[in-house]
């Protein structure tokens, strides 16, 4: 085994003992791994409440969905936007820091607010539940009539030498048409596999499949594959667009890397593909979200909430980060105890819960997605 492949090779020397203890704990743990405390060096200074911003970084592709002149074209454009968001969501932190980092678990009611292009596209996100942890979000380009309402949670488990993350939740992307009608697209979420744990340099691969189900009947089925031990490319996918999931006679076939180039072909009625054309270059840089300075944020906004913890992590002062993190978490626990003692139920500020969302149920049935019913989190007026 080469030196860079030795277990713990990427772990700082001062953190090897805590890293070894962490590996032992996850190997023997049963249940949801998200409740485990990770060694300080692998913590991210960013809260999970910020992650919905990745949906908006491809803001040009998001707004361009409204320019589609047919259901077929809009299905393609929604698919293009979705693929364009994946590199930011799942590989940027690895490129910036050398490995994937464990994000901070948001406190109940934590908010993340921001925009792109001076407010043309706006995002609001809120931690709507702590047990289980769920983040609700709403992204909107009002001038183009395009919006994304969704929520995400994670269920993690240990398998072999990898951590498997099942993303729970969905998105509902809506497009207001010139006719006055609204098209809706159900966005389901792929499963994550976190490799490189034993080397101390985790990275993310996507696995299995996800769907984009249009209310007009067209479905995008996306299959994800990663680099095998001996062959294959990292971060690859294939996709088909047609009527229903995994159609036998697709209208379009797409393949490539969700971190780089992908191509698409239009399939003729005889089943023969035309010449492939560039579908997307996912490696282009994308503008980060604009967020007001911390001193101007309200007390619930994410970067203000976690400032002392994030400062410690960025400076490498993990003891200070740990002290600040413990103080915040203990304060939150006391708030929940006080609420329970006073018979008070915490109320979210930005979202309200829609149990058994009927729109989700219809679209999930069209692509045979499970679960058959699920709640949604709708922005308050």
pLDDT digits (tens, 9 = 90+) for 15-27: 666 667 777 777 6
Identify the pLDDT of residue 67. Answer: 97
Mean pLDDT computed over every residue of the chain: 89
3-state secondary structure of 160: coil
Q: Lowest mean pLDDT: which of 96-100, 251-255, 275-279?
A: 96-100
Of the pLDDT bands very low, low, confident and very high (cuts 50, 70, 90), residue 235 is: very high
Q: Which of 195, 196, 171 is nearest to 185 (CA)?
A: 171
Identify the pLDDT of residue 12. Answer: 60
Q: Are the beta carbons of 182 and 175 closer than 8 angstroms?
A: yes
pLDDT digits (tens, 9 = 90+) for 330-379: 999 999 999 999 999 999 999 999 999 999 999 999 999 999 999 999 99
Helical segments of 65-165, H only: 71-90, 92-97
3-state secondary structure of 56: helix
Identify the pLDDT of residue 72. Answer: 95
Burial 294-329 (b: 16+ CB within 10 A, else e): eeebeebbbbbbbeebbebbeeeebeebbebbeebe
* H/E stretch holding 326: helix 318-341
pLDDT (average), residues 106-126: 97
For residue 280, pLDDT beyond 90: yes
Residues 6+ apart with CB under 8 A from 296: none
Place of tokens 């077929």: 72
Residues 6+ apart with CB under 8 A from 6: 199
Of the pLDDT bands very low, low, confident and very high (cuts 50, 70, 90), residue 231 is: low
For residue 7, pLDDT beyond 70: no
Distance CA 91, CA 304 (A): 25
pLDDT (average), residues 315-337: 93
pLDDT digits (tens, 9 = 90+) for 140-174: 999 999 999 999 999 888 877 788 999 999 999 99
Q: Which two tokens stand for residue 305?
A: 């909430």
Identify the pLDDT of residue 32. Answer: 63
Identify the pLDDT of residue 2. Answer: 40
pLDDT-above-90 percentage for the chain: 70
Identify the pLDDT of residue 379. Answer: 98
Identify the pLDDT of residue 14. Answer: 61
pLDDT (average), residues 128-141: 95
Q: Are the beta carbons of 237 and 83 closer than 8 angstroms?
A: yes
Identify the pLDDT of residue 302. Answer: 98
Q: Which of 308, 315, 283 is nearest to 294 (CA)?
A: 308
Greater confidence (270 vs 331) lies with 331
Distance CA 277, CA 264 (A): 6
Give the bridge partners for 122, in sequence order.
115, 140
pLDDT (average), residues 83-94: 86
Residues 6+ apart with CB under 8 A from 48: 103, 104, 105, 106, 133, 135
pLDDT digits (tens, 9 = 90+) for 186-229: 999 999 998 877 776 778 999 999 999 999 999 999 999 987 65
For residue 97, pLDDT beyond 70: no
For residue 3, pLDDT beyond 50: no
Distance CA 302, CA 308 (A): 12
Identify the pLDDT of residue 270. Answer: 52
Q: Which of 201, 202, 174 is nearest to 186 (CA)?
A: 174
- Provide the greatest CA pair distance for the chain: 69
- Phi (first) and psi of residue 276, to 5 degrees: -70, 145
Distance CA 47, CA 103 (A): 5
pTM of the model: 0.91
């Amino acid at each position: 085994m080469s030196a860079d492949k030795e277990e713990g090779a990427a772990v700082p020397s001062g953190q090897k003992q805590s890293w070894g203890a962490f590996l032992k704990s996850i190997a023997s743990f049963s249940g949801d791994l998200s409740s485990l405390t990770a060694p300080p060096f692998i913590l991210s200074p960013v809260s999970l409440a910020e992650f919905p911003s990745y949906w908006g970084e491809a803001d040009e592709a998001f707004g361009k969905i409204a320019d589609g002149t047919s259901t077929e074209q809009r299905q393609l454009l929604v698919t293009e936007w979705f693929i364009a968001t994946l590199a930011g969501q799942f590989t940027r932190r690895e490129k910036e820091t050398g490995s994937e980092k464990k994000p901070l678990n948001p406190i109940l009611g934590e908010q993340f607010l921001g925009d792109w292009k001076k407010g043309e596209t706006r995002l609001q996100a809120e931690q709507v539940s702590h047990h289980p942890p769920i983040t609700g979000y709403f992204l909107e380009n009002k001038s183009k009539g395009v919006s994304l309402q969704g929520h995400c949670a994670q269920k993690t488990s240990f398998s072999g030498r990898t951590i498997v993350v099942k993303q729970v939740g969905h998105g509902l992307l809506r497009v207001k048409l010139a006719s006055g009608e609204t098209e809706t697209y159900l966005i389901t979420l792929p499963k994550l596999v976190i490799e490189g744990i034993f080397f101390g340099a985790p990275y993310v691969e996507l696995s299995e499949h996800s769907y984009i189900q249009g209310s007009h009947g067209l479905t995008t089925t996306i299959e994800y594959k990663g680099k095998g031990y001996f062959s294959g490319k990292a971060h690859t996918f294939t996709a088909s667009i047609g009527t229903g999931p995994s159609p036998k006679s697709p209208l379009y076939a797409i393949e490539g890397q969700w971190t780089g180039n992908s191509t698409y072909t239009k399939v003729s009625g005889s089943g023969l593909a035309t010449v492939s054309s560039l579908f997307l270059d996912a490696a282009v840089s994308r503008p980060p979200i604009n967020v007001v300075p911390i001193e101007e944020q309200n007390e619930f906004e994410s970067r203000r909430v976690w400032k002392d913890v994030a400062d410690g992590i960025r400076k490498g002062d993990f003891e200070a980060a740990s002290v600040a993190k413990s103080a915040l978490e203990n304060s939150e626990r006391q708030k929940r105890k006080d609420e329970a003692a006073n018979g008070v139920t915490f109320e979210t500020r930005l979202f309200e819960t829609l149990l058994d969302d009927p729109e989700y149920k219809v679209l999930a049935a069209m692509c045979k997605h499970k679960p058959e019913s699920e709640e949604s989190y709708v922005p308050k007026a």
